[in-house]
């Protein structure tokens, strides 16, 4: 009888290994909430290089992962210091705009692709560019 008791206890005493937790597979949603979605640089002279940092918060319950970013113009460069943002944490998207060769009212679109509840998010920058070289020849 003691033999069977020892056998049963020894079979159940092993530790069970938990399945590894992958933050990408957590249930829930990731959600962008931006403090500002459009930034106006105002009046610029052609050739000025300016930047603005869009700040957002992941208001979801799942890690937000930025997969890629597209801008409609080679005049914009996008810098993302951290592409994976935990729930309730803040992230940043810096947009650097080079106004060289531009003239007049400009509106540029930056599209952010992610695993958020809204998988494509658009941000906008605008400016009014004065370009003496182009204006003289017009």
Domain presence at residue 3: no
Instruction: Grade residue 136 by pLDDT with cuts at 50, 70 and 90.
Output: low
Contact between residue 23 and residue 61 where contact means Cβ atoms under 8 Å apart: no
pLDDT, one tens digit per residue, over 35-74 is: 999 999 999 999 999 999 999 999 999 999 999 999 988 9
CATH number of the domain that residue 113 is part of: 2.60.40.10
Domain presence at residue 6: no
Number of domains in the chain: 1
From edge to edge, which strands make up the β-sheet containing 49-58?
32-34, 49-58, 90-98, 76-79
CA distance 62 to 59: 9
pLDDT of residue 30: 97
Whether the model clears a pTM of 0.85, i.e. scores above it, the answer is no
Domain presence at residue 87: yes
pLDDT, one tens digit per residue, over 19-39 is: 344 444 457 999 999 999 999
Domain presence at residue 15: no
Q: Is the pLDDT of residue 89 over 60?
A: yes
How high does pLDDT run on average in the chain?
Answer: 84
What lies within 8 Å, CB to CB, of 29 at 6+ separation is 60, 61, 62, 116, 117
Structural domain boundaries, residue 70: 28-136
């Amino acid at each position: 009888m003691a033999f069977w008791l020892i056998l049963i206890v020894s079979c159940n005493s092993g530790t069970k290994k938990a399945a590894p937790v992958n933050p990408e597979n957590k249930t829930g949603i990731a959600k962008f909430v931006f403090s500002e979605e459009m930034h106006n640089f105002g009046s610029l002279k052609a050739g000025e290089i300016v930047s603005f940092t869009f700040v957002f918060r992941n208001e979801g319950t799942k890690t937000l992962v930025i997969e890629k970013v597209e801008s409609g113009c080679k005049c914009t460069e996008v810098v993302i210091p951290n592409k994976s943002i935990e729930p309730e944490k803040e992230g940043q998207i810096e947009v650097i705009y080079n106004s060289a060769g531009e003239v007049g009212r400009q509106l540029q679109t930056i599209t952010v692709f992610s695993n958020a509840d809204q998988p494509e998010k658009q941000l906008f920058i605008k400016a009014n560019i004065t370009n003496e070289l182009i204006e003289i020849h017009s």
